[in-house]
A and B are shown apart, each in its own frame.
Chain A
Amino acid sequence: MTRQTILNATHRAAGAKMVDFGGWDMPLNYGSQIEEHHAVRRDAGMFDVSHMTVVDLRGARCREFLRHLLANDIDKLKKPGKALYGCMLNERGGVIDDLITYFLAEDWFRVVVNAATRDKDLAWIEKQASAFGVKVTERPELAMIAVQGPHARAKVLALLDAGDRERVEKLGKFVAAEAHGPDGMPLFVARTGYTGEDGFEIIVPEAHAVALWNALAAAGVHPAGLGARDTLRLEAGMNLYGQDMTEDVTPWEAGLAWTVSLESDGQFPGRDFIGRAALEKQKQDGVPRELIGVVLDDKGVLRHGQRVVTGKGDGEILSGIFSPTLGKAIGFARVPAGVHDGLKVDIRGRELPLRMVKYPFVRDGKACEGV
């Protein structure tokens, strides 16, 4: 049974092409994926991300629990409202999911996990939480709209209650706050996103989600679908769970070393998080594979699953797209560690040269140096 967000009828009325995504009936595009991509890079676009799973964690030992659950260091969050990106790992160091954790109060944290991994994530979090007396509550009655682009914040701010505007405008990156929207609707506004653009991700009670969406549309924010979301996030060099990392891949092999904190600058050095021993062992033994950014200078399109030929054995394309901003194909590849030259991709039997580049591929709407 396919699930629908509260905005489903709104998408259909707007002529969206719908697809199944992780068991949800979601908009792929509203006409042209490329135009939606450009709207986000150049102006402001919005995505219905209500399929994502919001989970509240409550209990006196929340922080202690998160020190154990997350490979990133929850003690980096010192002020309420701050958010942290990171992974939760299994004992083998494989990635169960990537998630954002918000610090709301010492006895209240909120995590947002992927839709496609909801069931296993909830089971895992609950299993780990019981030892800490932390109560895990899914919040399916909350919808979520991501508003992204160079003009996104201004357009959202204009819809907020006048008394909240200045405070929300001053939110730093990766910080959230409560505010009131049109007709006083209660919002949770976070300066986060998955496009490489500035903007907000707004959590709103389902009862108000359609009104908020319509108000944003009236303010000139362009609806954008999952197709544009994928090309935007890859240009921005952001990983997608299931494609770029899985339970059989460690953060070292997925370009996510920056989200792993082995040293803690807090009171708890040597924090005993799940998967730590496996990560330390792999680091000692030598990480066999790595994730790199690649560009195809020839004509063609990189796709998930294509074979990458290297001097040290085969690798594969993890995420691959035609980049609307760059006008050529870009991707993430997993290759044997250390091979950065002489890479080729097998596209329908033809081997075309791949060039390794640093990512992000696009920043501030323009190609990054060397891409």
Chain B
Amino acid sequence: MSDIPGDLKFQKSHEWVRLEDAGQARVGISDHAQGLLGDLVYVELPKVGDKIEAGSGCAVVESVKAASDVYAPVSGKIVAVNEALADKPETINEDAFGDGWLFVVKLDNPDEMDALLVPDDYAELIENDEH
């Protein structure tokens, strides 16, 4: 599982978070999740300014197979969304941890990050998923 970037934290429901400057964090879904979903065809994102709450549904990704909720891994206010996904949702399939990011959130409480899984633990989780 060396392809999971070391600077990410994960939620069991397969969202990743990367802590950035100024108390902000970038959020996406994991490469494992996009693999399970198959080709993505539509993404419904929150709006800039929306408040999201850790554990609540805040976006929807739809693949050729099904629609799937994205749960907020942290609480805060949306400061940016990945507009490019509207026309190219397949970017998530191609680069889930990079250009396929979903949104950036200004954290209410940076301590929430501590509750999330580190890459090794997430790798173990999906390993067990596959067996």
A residues contacting B by CB (< 8 A) are 17, 28-29, 32-34, 227, 231, 299-301, 303, 321-322, 348
Contact = CB atoms under 8 A, between A and B. Distances in A.
A29 B42 contact: no
Interface in B62-104: 62, 64-67, 86, 90, 93
B38 interface: yes
B41 A29 contact: no
Contacts of B90: 34
Given A227-B64, A301-B62, A303-B67, A322 B42 contact: yes
B130 to A, nearest CB: 12
B108 interface: no
A231 B42 contact: no
Contacts of B41: 34, 301, 322
29 contacts: A17-B38, A28-B38, A28-B65, A29-B38, A32-B38, A32-B39, A32-B93, A33-B38, A33-B39, A33-B64, A33-B65, A34-B41, A34-B64, A34-B90, A227-B65, A231-B64, A299-B42, A299-B86, A300-B42, A300-B44, A300-B62, A301-B41, A301-B62, A303-B67, A321-B64, A322-B42, A322-B64, A348-B44, A348-B60
A321 B67 CA distance: 11
A34 B94 CA distance: 14
Contacts of B42: 299-301, 322
Contacts of B66: 303
A301 B67 CA distance: 8
Contacts of B62: 300-301, 322
Contacts of A17: 38
A32 B65 CA distance: 11
Contact of A34 (B39, B44, B60, B86): B39
A34 B66 CA distance: 14
Interface residues of B, number: 14
Which 4 pairs, one residue from A and one from B, show the smallest C-beta to C-beta distance?
A322-B41, A34-B39, A301-B62, A33-B64
A227 B42 CA distance: 17
Contacts of A33: 38-39, 64-65
Nearest to A323: B41
What DSSP secondary structure best describes chain A's contact surface?
mixed
Name the residue among B41, B62, B67, B86 with the largest chain A CB count within 10 angstroms.
B41
A29 B39 CA distance: 10
Interface in B32-66: 38-39, 41-42, 44, 60, 62, 64-66
Contacts of A29: 38
Contacts of A303: 66-67
B77 to A, nearest CB: 22
Nearest to A225: B38
Contacts of B44: 300, 348
A348 B59 CA distance: 12
A222 to B, nearest CB: 15
A266 to B, nearest CB: 44
Contacts of B67: 301, 303, 348
A17 B36 CA distance: 9
Nearest to B93: A32
A317 B15 CA distance: 30
Contacts of A32: 38-39, 93
A223 to B, nearest CB: 16
A17 B90 CA distance: 18
Contacts of B93: 32
Contacts of B64: 33-34, 227, 231, 321-322
Nearest to A350: B44
Nearest to A322: B41
Contacts of A231: 64
Given A32-B38, A32-B39, A32-B93, 16 more contacts: A17-B38, A33-B38, A33-B65, A34-B90, A227-B38, A227-B64, A299-B86, A300-B44, A300-B62, A301-B62, A301-B67, A303-B66, A303-B67, A322-B41, A322-B42, A348-B60
A321 B41 CA distance: 10
B30 to A, nearest CB: 17
Nearest to B66: A303
A33 B40 CA distance: 10
B20 to A, nearest CB: 28
A108 to B, nearest CB: 40
Contacts of A28: 38, 65
Nearest to A303: B67
